[in-house]
Amino acid sequence: MQHAAEIVVQRLTKDYGRFRAVDNISFEVARGSVVGFLGPNGAGKTTTIRMLTCYMPPSSGQARVAGFDVFGQSLQVRQNIGYLPENTPLYPEMRVEEYLDYRGKLRGINRTARRQRIADVAQRCWLTDRLRWLVGKLSKGYRQRLGIADALLHNPPVLVLDEPTVGLDPSQIREARKLIAELAGRHTVLLSTHILSEVELVCQRVIIIGRGKILAQGTPDELKQQCARAGAAGARLLVEVRGPSDQVLSAVKALPGVEKVQVLTDGPVQSLAVMGRLDAQLREQIAALVVQRGWALREMRVGGATLEEYFVQITDPGTSQAAA
């Protein structure tokens, strides 16, 4: 009897002395899915991942990876997990092939299978032309690929990647994402990152964590809807007007239903973010105002709910209480 969830985390907590890095979090990751583990730096992502990969034991709570308990069956968990730590630590004096061979030995893969697996992961991670290179001579992008190749070497059901795209250039990031997207279905992937667009592109589900707590989880679309709903009490308009700056600002502020006006760029042409009540018919009012004063309306649009805004909104200490 196998569980449909490959990673099950129940009330996991980690204390460093008096500092609680991870606070009573619970979540599940379904088999074959790519889940983004999102949070600002210092939110507890790496700590959670380190507990899941058996690098450190939890202070309390439970976690099961591939059906094994991370505390009681640590060896089995480690056998079923492929892990890419932050910053991809490697041995610079070894050759790529040699390193993969060594890692295969550590996982108890026999010689023939090892050769096959190395050729396979090298191909999947576009490393074939670098197998004879010294690891220390590889560029950051290739080092990252080598790290992912290492994580894939024993064909583990679960992959845990800690910030796999940090320090890569844009084209390398795109390649890395392509690779990760390809892994979906064959592996269960937990991907930690603080880059939002990455999550929107490759992840089926997102778990947002901040100050050790889970703030939200769901599909990227669900989160966007939540964000839109959270913002439903107030509409957000982006307005660009050509006119005398002090007058424009005060006039817009004076409109009924306007709650807050934020100046995005100042000058002869101003762009403003206007927050106000949804029922106040702000767009009509602003249009009428501009026409009446003889200014020029250059642009007006409703600010869409992006995951980015939601993220900032719920991880920001000031507003998070309401969102959580």
Partner 1 sequence: MSRIIAVAGRELKSLFYSPVAYIVLVLYLLFVGLLFSMLVFIPGELANPQPMFEWNHLILIFIVPFITMSLLSEEYRSGRIEVLRTSPLAELEIILGKFLGAMGFYCVVIASSVVFVLTLVAFGRPDFHPIFTSYLGLLLMGSMMVAIGVFFSALSEHQILAAMSTCVTLVTLGILVGFVRQLVPTAWFAATQIRHVLGYMAIEPHMANFARGVVDTQNIVYFLTGTGLFLFLTYVVLESRRWR
Residue ranges in contact with partner 1 by CB under 8 A: 16, 50, 53-57, 75, 78-79, 81, 83, 85-87, 89-91, 93-94, 102-103, 105-108, 150
Nearer to partner 1, 150 or 198 (CB): 150
CB of 164 to partner 1, least distance (A): 14
Please report which helix (H) or strand (E) contains residue 28, including its range.
strand 19-30
CB 49 within 8 A of CB 63: no
Strand order in the sheet with 60-65: 19-30, 5-16, 60-65, 68-69
CB of 186 to partner 1, least distance (A): 20
Cβ burial 36-64 (10 Å sphere, 16+ → b, else e): bbbbeeebbbbbbbbbbbbeeebeebebb
Nearer to partner 1, 32 or 85 (CB): 85
- Amino acid of residue 124: R
Nearer to partner 1, 53 or 270 (CB): 53
CB 192 within 8 A of CB 209: no
CB of 143 to partner 1, least distance (A): 13
CB of 237 to partner 1, least distance (A): 48
CB 101 within 8 A of CB 145: no
CB of 56 to partner 1, least distance (A): 6
Whose tokens are 């907590």? That residue is 13
Nearer to partner 1, 112 or 265 (CB): 112
Nearer to partner 1, 106 or 312 (CB): 106
Please report which helix (H) or strand (E) contains residue 175, including its range.
helix 170-183
CB of 311 to partner 1, least distance (A): 27
Residue 54 and residue 136: Cα distance in Å, rounded? 27
Nearer to partner 1, 86 or 200 (CB): 86
* Neighbouring-strand partners of residue 218: 206
Whose tokens are 């790290």? That residue is 147
Nearer to partner 1, 135 or 239 (CB): 135
Residue 59 and residue 51: Cα distance in Å, rounded? 10
CB of 5 to partner 1, least distance (A): 21
